[in-house]
Amino acid sequence: MELFEKSAEIFENIIKIKPVMHNISNIVTANDCANITLACGGSPTMAEHPEEVEDITSACNGFVINMGMLRSHLVESMLKAGKRSNELGHPVVLDPVGAGAAKKRNEVLFQLIENIKFSVIRGNISEIKFLATGTSAAKGVDADESDKVTADNIDSVIEFAKNLSKKTGAVIAISGETDIIADANKAYIIKNGCAEMSRVTGTGCMLSSVVGTFISANKESILDATAVAFSAYGYAGELAYDKMKSKGEGTGSFRVYLMDYMSLMNDKLFKEGAKIEVR
Amino acid sequence: MELFEKSAEIFENIIKIKPVMHNISNIVTANDCANITLACGGSPTMAEHPEEVEDITSACNGFVINMGMLRSHLVESMLKAGKRSNELGHPVVLDPVGAGAAKKRNEVLFQLIENIKFSVIRGNISEIKFLATGTSAAKGVDADESDKVTADNIDSVIEFAKNLSKKTGAVIAISGETDIIADANKAYIIKNGCAEMSRVTGTGCMLSSVVGTFISANKESILDATAVAFSAYGYAGELAYDKMKSKGEGTGSFRVYLMDYMSLMNDKLFKEGAKIEVR
Amino acid sequence: MELFEKSAEIFENIIKIKPVMHNISNIVTANDCANITLACGGSPTMAEHPEEVEDITSACNGFVINMGMLRSHLVESMLKAGKRSNELGHPVVLDPVGAGAAKKRNEVLFQLIENIKFSVIRGNISEIKFLATGTSAAKGVDADESDKVTADNIDSVIEFAKNLSKKTGAVIAISGETDIIADANKAYIIKNGCAEMSRVTGTGCMLSSVVGTFISANKESILDATAVAFSAYGYAGELAYDKMKSKGEGTGSFRVYLMDYMSLMNDKLFKEGAKIEVR
């Protein structure tokens, strides 16, 4: 695997740079996002006051916008910090949580995409489809069954992701049972992860923070670093599930173990578990 | 036990419907509320921006208002989402956290009760008494000692709960060492749970989210579904305590195990542990 | 050790008084702060609406201001609750998270210090230096390497802390590998804790909530109670690290064990682990 030749360097860069990550997040998963950022080697800082976000983001290495819960002051803060990050050349991740779920949220989303250049847009298939088409079948924050990636439609989803990447300039990272990560020319298909991850809140939000950390230490390899982040995080989920299952435990323990394995993750462990194909 | 003939269906309906639950919560326990909603079979969505709550709640199956921490935009959001939920016939739960603790909070509380029809009002005895009488002995968010339900006063508390249910139209669910759940005609007394639950923040908030999930999948059996939710959650607490104690652990582990057992809860486990009487 | 003659009473007072603690915190660590307050024997209440903070704080025994994430309404709330706490003689703790990181945050910080009398100011060395000098080398929320307390500079840092205490009237509590806790005349040096604590978010915030609980039950012994709180919390971290390490686990489990050991902490355990010197 071509990516296996680069992954050692991707992990080393995180240790070397220990990127300081600005996250604008939500009241549900902010703690999880901060802890997973630390677990995977970054240093989180969460600021959202419109009058301080530019100062804060200037001292950081990257920025993650999580749309999980709109609050009124956040729009201005996201725009300011995003623009400043763009000026400084910091990688910026967009997690369009619940895209399509409400008119107001959709307006904000398109305002962000118009005004900020994103390095990676990461969401489930329903959220990403909404960004491209302006319509969605999803209810709540989970992907809709009718949108799911299957063996039958995977080629067209890859084509769709490559086109959306071409249009937006961002790596498009779609998570689900099968993850698809694409820029305009190349796509990774990743089959790590497990169903239990959808029984814990914030596993998507956390993944966006992990991606932010990986790419902010690897600015020249956004696509590759995103793929490694997805696969490593998914594999941490598999290990957490195996441990939970073997002890007859439930979702509380699973959540703890997911954090554990992410904090123990390294290139060796990643290579043992990665299930990645290139298209 | 009459309730044992219905409980299998109550659990099955949750699996079948997997209710999408809108929660307006607080910055302290929002993550716990989301995770316990998932653990007991629902799908949480947390939105609080006044301009999006109606859209969000419309795509849900039920709504939980947690008063845990007033922030200024929440009043409008709670009112809008509550009214919309009423229009759509969605069950609505009120958790009057800290009722009586501050003049402003009390005003908001009575404004909510006047404008929204609640299916269940769940709180500790001091909070519920405040709703009925406008006075409270409690400091902070715990029930006051002088209010506690004892063998001596339980009959009058049941009478009080039935009357309040008659007045409000909501099932009145009072949690404590002994829980009392009543509509105008019937009351359940539940003796599950353990003292350790008061050493973890948000165990009350989480219970309200569990109740919301149970009743939103069982709209025709609000009283029964609330009783099953209370008993199942309390029993999960007992199991968590036993495990924690046997391993010499503390409140951090207890909190993880509570989530574990709630995610493993089903009709069989519920029936093994339920301590429920009817009045 | 002189402090060992007082520590039993310090722990007993917490059990006797069970202080109700008002915390104004942030969306990242509010849950952790509430749970650690409970774990160490207090009762947390978190209110931040400007119209209710005075009522809430009046029914409490102490108040903790955490600057972790500025939101616009918090400035008014912090000022109101702080002044009311001062009027009532409640101990007030300031945690100047990220002091120096942004112009707006700095302005607020100095506004708080001008208007509120603090019992304890607890931060890392970069944050505390900023309060004294108005300049900082730190990026994000961690102390800067160039600021760190070493064998070479410890005498001057102690002198600095004593002077800042004289100037502000607050006990100055500096956390790091070596903690320094000083009033105008006396300093404690504490060598408990472990590096793993910086791999979990909110370990500083939690310490401030622990300090608040300890001093609010021990208003006549602010310096001593702060030192015991620091040492006990640090030792809980060491025990958590040992357990995590022996089981090959990661930061998720460490966080759970830290809470566990804090909830099991008592005078006996404290005396087994305390590493405290007096200057």
Chain C interface includes B137 (CB < 8 A): no
Asked if B45 lies within 8 A of A105 by C-beta distance, the reply is no
Element (H, E) at B123: strand B120-124
Assigned domain for B267 exists:
no
Q: Which residues contact B133 (CB under 8 A, 6 or more apart)?
A: none
β-pairing, A20-24 vs A62-66, is parallel
Chain A interface includes B263 (CB < 8 A): yes
Asked if A104 lies within 8 A of B56 by C-beta distance, the reply is no
Q: Which residues of C touch A47 (CB under 8 A)?
A: 69-70, 98, 101-102
Chain C interface includes A256 (CB < 8 A): yes
pLDDT value of position A247? 98
**The pair of three-digit structure tokens given for residue A65, joined into one six-digit string:** 């916008």
How many whole angstroms separate alpha carbon B101 and alpha carbon C54? 10
Assigned domain for B57 exists:
yes
Chain C interface includes A35 (CB < 8 A): yes
pLDDT value of position B137? 73
Closest-CA distance of chain B to residue C79, Å: 17
Q: Which residues contact A101 (CB under 8 A, 6 or more apart)?
A: A136, A138, A139, A140, A141, B45, B47, B52, B55, B56, B59
pLDDT value of position A135? 81
Average pLDDT over residues C174-201: 97
pLDDT value of position C238? 98
Assigned domain for B75 exists:
yes
In angstroms, the first-to-last Cα distance of chain B is 12
pLDDT value of position A147? 84
Chain B interface includes C251 (CB < 8 A): no
Each residue of B84-125: pLDDT tens digit?
999 999 999 999 998 998 999 999 999 999 999 999 999 999
Q: B75: domain CATH number?
A: 3.40.1190.20
How many whole angstroms separate alpha carbon A242 and alpha carbon A245? 5
Answer for the pair B126, B144: CB distance below 8 angstroms, yes or no: yes
pLDDT value of position A207? 98
Asked if B251 lies within 8 A of C34 by C-beta distance, the reply is no
Q: Identify the residue with better confidence: C243 or C150.
A: C243
Q: Which residues of C touch B199 (CB under 8 A)?
A: 38-39, 263
Q: Which residues of A touch C253 (CB under 8 A)?
A: 256-257, 260
Q: Which residues contact B186 (CB under 8 A, 6 or more apart)?
A: B223, B278, B279
CB contacts < 8 A (B, C): 107
Number of domains within chain B: 1
- For residue C138, give the chain A residue with the closest CA: A59
> Best interface-test mutation with C: which of B201, B241, B245, B253 has the largest number of C CBs within 10 A?
B201
Asked if B55 lies within 8 A of A104 by C-beta distance, the reply is yes
- For residue B255, give the chain A residue with the closest CA: A252
How many whole angstroms separate alpha carbon A89 and alpha carbon C64? 38
CB contacts < 8 A (A, C): 107
Asked if A35 lies within 8 A of C201 by C-beta distance, the reply is yes
Q: How many CA atoms lie within 13 A of B38 on its CB side?
A: 27
Q: How confident is the model at residue C134 (pLDDT cuts 50, 70, 90)?
A: confident
β-pairing, C20-24 vs C43-45, is parallel
Each residue of C39-73: pLDDT tens digit?
999 999 999 999 999 999 999 999 999 998 888 89
Q: Subunits with at least 3 CB pairs below 8 A relative to chain C? A: A, B
Residue type, B61: N
Q: Is the ipTM of this complex over 0.90?
A: yes
pLDDT value of position A2? 86
Asked if B263 lies within 8 A of A105 by C-beta distance, the reply is no
**The pair of three-digit structure tokens given for residue C259, joined into one six-digit string:** 């809470």
Assigned domain for B45 exists:
yes
Closest by Cβ to C252, choosing from A44, A49, A258: A258
pLDDT value of position A219? 98
Q: Subunits with at least 3 CB pairs below 8 A relative to chain B? A: A, C
Q: Which residues contact A179 (CB under 8 A, 6 or more apart)?
A: A173, A188, A189, A190, A191, A192, A193, A230, A234
Asked if A252 lies within 8 A of B35 by C-beta distance, the reply is yes
Radius of gyration over every alpha carbon of chain B, rounded to an integer in angstroms: 17
Series of mean pLDDT values for 10-residue runs along chain B (279 residues): 93 98 96 98 96 96 94 93 98 95 93 97 95 80 82 94 97 96 98 97 97 98 98 98 98 98 98 96
> Best interface-test mutation with A: which of C25, C27, C97 has the largest number of A CBs within 10 A?
C27
Q: Which residues of A touch B255 (CB under 8 A)?
A: 252
CA–centroid distance for B183 within its chain: 15
Assigned domain for B146 exists:
yes
pLDDT value of position B135? 81
Phi, psi of C171 (to 5 degrees): -65, 130
Q: Which residues of B touch A252 (CB under 8 A)?
A: 35, 39, 255-260, 263
Burial B178-187 (b: 16+ CB within 10 A, else e): bbbbbbbebb
Range(s) of the domain holding residue B165: 4-229
Asked if B45 lies within 8 A of A98 by C-beta distance, the reply is yes
**The pair of three-digit structure tokens given for residue C223, joined into one six-digit string:** 């310096």
Answer for the pair B262, B213: CB distance below 8 angstroms, yes or no: no
pLDDT value of position C216? 98
SS3 string, chain C, reads CCCHHHHHHHHHHHHHHCCEEEEECCCCCHHHHHHHHHHCCCEEECCCCCCCHHHHHHCCCEEEEECCCCCCCHHHHHHHHHHHHHHHCCCEEEECCCCCCCHHHHHHHHHHHHHCCCCEEEEEHHHHHHHHHCCCCCCCCCCCHHHCCCCCCHHHHHHHHHHHHHHHCCEEEEECCCEEEECCCCEEEECCCCHHHHHCCCHHHHHHHHHHHHHHCCCCCHHHHHHHHHHHHHHHHHHHHHHHHHCCCCHHHHHHHHHHHHHHCCHHHHHHHCCEEEC
Closest by Cβ to B30, choosing from A27, A104, A142: A27
Q: How confident is the model at residue C247 (pLDDT cuts 50, 70, 90)?
A: very high
pTM of the model: 0.97
Please, which residues 147-176 of chain C have a Cβ atom closer than 8 Å to chain A?
none
Residues β-bridged to residue A180: A174, A189
Burial A232-255 (b: 16+ CB within 10 A, else e): bbbbbbbbbbebbeeeebbbbbbb
- For residue C202, give the chain A residue with the closest CA: A31
Q: Which residues of C touch B201 (CB under 8 A)?
A: 31, 34-35, 38, 44
Please, which residues 2-31 of chain C have a Cβ atom closer than 8 Å to chain B?
20, 25-27, 30-31
Asked if A29 lies within 8 A of B26 by C-beta distance, the reply is no
Which residue stretches of chain A are H helix? 4-17, 30-39, 53-58, 72-88, 103-115, 125-133, 154-168, 203-216, 222-246, 251-264, 267-273
DSSP 3-state assignment of B28?
coil
Per residue of chain A (279 residues), what is the pLDDT tens digit?
789 999 999 999 999 999 999 999 999 999 999 999 999 999 999 999 999 999 999 999 999 999 988 888 999 999 999 999 999 999 999 999 989 989 999 999 999 999 999 999 999 999 999 999 888 777 667 778 888 888 899 999 999 999 999 999 999 999 999 999 999 999 999 999 999 999 999 999 999 999 999 999 999 999 999 999 999 999 999 999 999 999 999 999 999 999 999 999 999 999 999 999 998
Mean residue pLDDT across chain C: 95
How many whole angstroms separate alpha carbon A29 and alpha carbon B34? 9
Asked if B104 lies within 8 A of C20 by C-beta distance, the reply is no
pLDDT value of position A142? 77
Residue labelled with tokens 């059990």: C15
Q: Which residues of B touch A29 (CB under 8 A)?
A: 31
Q: How confident is the model at residue C2 (pLDDT cuts 50, 70, 90)?
A: confident
Assigned domain for B262 exists:
no
Residue C19 predicted with pLDDT over 80: yes
Burial C165-200 (b: 16+ CB within 10 A, else e): beebebbbbbbbebbbbbbbebbbbbebbbebbbbb
Burial of B154 (0-12, 13-18, 19+ CB in 10 A): middle
Asked if B34 lies within 8 A of A139 by C-beta distance, the reply is no
Chain C interface includes B75 (CB < 8 A): no
Q: Subunits with at least 3 CB pairs below 8 A relative to chain A? A: B, C
Assigned domain for B139 exists:
yes
- Going by C-alpha positions, the residue among C163, C166, C173 that lies closest to residue C122 is C173
